[in-house]
């Protein structure tokens, strides 16, 4: 059993910082709960996880993650239900994706079940930090990085796995303007686009900054070879409703993060009888549909982003305004339905929620 083999050691804060939180003004990712979980890998074995006060860390200057980027992370959320219980959304899926990221980045894997166990333990420890407010939740950030103090290039022999949590509101506070990016690339086939690894985000910053300078909140990445096919956006997968069908780029190319929110949206759409197509999505098809009015909804799907409405698409020198957000039947329904499952007002008939 994970619990007996990896019994958690706990060192609680002397005084909680919770009284200092301005719950009416929670910027995303800037407020940190009292504790963090830390676990080290050395000599082929994981230590038992420790929950300790949230604090700065000391690192060797040659820490290999800093130099060569063996660094991966996850993002998931816990919610306070209407009856006061704590619900974690689909953490088994994050565990699976984390394992895939470990494999691609040549990093030590966690034993089966340990990721989920650690998530549950840290959430339980700081359960008071989970906001009780519509649209608010506890963002959970598990991550792992190489800790060898060695400057040669090789997979590290040592790793640190950690989790901290942040009470959060919305990541995006308004519908988004996005730009279809044709020059820069997020991920190429055979690369690491499918892994949730730090460098993917670093590589996106400069092109995203150029987009921001022109008034775009986010970019929509296209394939590295031809820039003709849509991939995903910076912090979320992208989904379209055209002629009543839900359409989204397939993950076959290994260049797209296999999003858990997107997967949930697809499963709901299928259950509700909506046709779903996961396939190559040509930029031209989207532009044509935007022009002839068959493109009725465009939205991003992600843990931080939730269901993020896209109100305008920029393509080359043109801008395409999309139908008003209030008229978007599917994405509004799916947004509310997902929230209802998480907050416990709708039965969790898919078994997506783990109560702790």
259 near ligand PLP (CB under 6 A): yes
Q: Could you give the CA distance from residue 92 to residue 119 in angstroms, rounded to a whole number?
A: 10
Q: Could you give the CA distance from residue 354 to residue 81 in angstroms, rounded to a whole number?
A: 12
Q: Which residue is nearest to ligand COI (CB)?
A: 75
Q: Compute the least distance from the CB of residue 10 to ligand PLP, in Å.
A: 29
Q: Are 295 and 286 in contact, with CB atoms under 8 Å apart?
A: yes
223 near ligand PLP (CB under 6 A): no
Q: Which stretch binds ligand PLP (CB under 6 A): 48-56, 77-85, 115-123, 230-238?
A: 230-238
Partner from ligand COI, ligand PLP, none contacting 249, C-beta within 5 to 8 A by type: none
Q: Compute the least distance from the CB of residue 14 to ligand COI, in Å.
A: 31
With CA atoms as reference, report the closest residue to 253 among 284, 226, 235, 289: 226
Q: Could you give the CA distance from residue 158 to residue 179 in angstroms, rounded to a whole number?
A: 40
- Give me the residues paired with residue 179 across strands: 219, 314
Other beta carbons within 10 Å of 131: 17
- Give me the residues paired with residue 146 across strands: 159
Quick note: the x/- pattern for ligand COI over 220-239, rule CB under 6 A, is: ---------------x----
Residues 68-97 contacting ligand PLP, CB under 6 A: 75
Which helix (H) or strand (E) is 333 found in, with range?
A: helix 329-343
Quick note: the x/- pattern for ligand COI over 303-332, rule CB under 6 A, is: xx----------------------------
With CA atoms as reference, report the closest residue to 196 among 120, 137, 145, 262: 145
Decide: helix, strand or coil at residue 284: helix
Binds ligand PLP by CB under 6 A, chosen from 138, 208, 236, 268? 236
246 near ligand PLP (CB under 6 A): no
302 near ligand COI (CB under 6 A): yes
- The residues that touch ligand PLP, with contacts defined as CB under 6 A, are 75, 232, 235-237, 257, 259-262, 301-303
- The residues that touch ligand COI, with contacts defined as CB under 6 A, are 75, 235, 302-304
């Amino acid at each position: 059993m994970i619990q007996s083999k990896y019994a958690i050691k706990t060192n609680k804060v002397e005084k909680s910082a919770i009284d200092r939180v301005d719950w009416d003004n929670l910027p995303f990712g800037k407020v940190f709960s009292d504790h963090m979980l830390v676990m080290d890998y050395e000599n082929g074995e994981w230590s038992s996880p420790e929950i300790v006060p949230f604090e700065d860390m000391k690192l060797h200057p040659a820490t290999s993650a800093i130099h060569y980027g063996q660094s991966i992370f996850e993002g998931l959320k816990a919610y306070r239900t209407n009856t006061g219980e704590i619900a974690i959304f689909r953490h088994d899926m994050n565990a699976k994706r984390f394992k895939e990221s470990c494999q691609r980045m040549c990093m030590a894997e966690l034993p089966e079940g340990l990721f989920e166990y650690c998530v549950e333990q840290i959430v339980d420890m700081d359960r008071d930090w989970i906001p009780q407010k519509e649209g608010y939740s506890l963002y959970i950030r598990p991550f792992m990085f190489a800790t060898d103090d060695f400057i040669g290039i090789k997979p590290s022999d040592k790793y640190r796995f950690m989790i901290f949590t942040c009470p959060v509101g919305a990541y995006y506070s308004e519908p988004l303007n996005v730009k279809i990016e044709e020059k820069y690339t997020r991920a190429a086939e055979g690369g690491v686009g499918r892994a949730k690894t730090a460098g993917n985000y670093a590589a996106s910053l400069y092109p995203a900054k150029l987009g921001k300078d022109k008034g775009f909140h986010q970019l929509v990445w296209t394939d590295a070879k031809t820039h003709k096919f849509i991939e995903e956006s910076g912090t979320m997968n992208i989904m379209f409703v055209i002629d009543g069908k839900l359409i989204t780029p397939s993950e076959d190319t290994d260049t797209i993060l296999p999003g858990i929110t997107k997967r949930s949206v697809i499963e709901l759409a299928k259950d509700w009888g909506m046709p779903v197509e996961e396939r190559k999505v040509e930029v031209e098809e989207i532009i044509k549909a935007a022009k002839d009015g068959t493109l009725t909804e465009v939205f991003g799907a992600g843990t931080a982003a939730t269901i993020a409405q896209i109100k305008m698409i920029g393509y080359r020198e043109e801008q395409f305004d999309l139908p008003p957000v209030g008229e978007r039947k599917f994405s509004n329904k799916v947004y509310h339905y997902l929230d209802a499952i998480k907050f416990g007002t709708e039965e969790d008939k898919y078994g997506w929620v783990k109560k702790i």
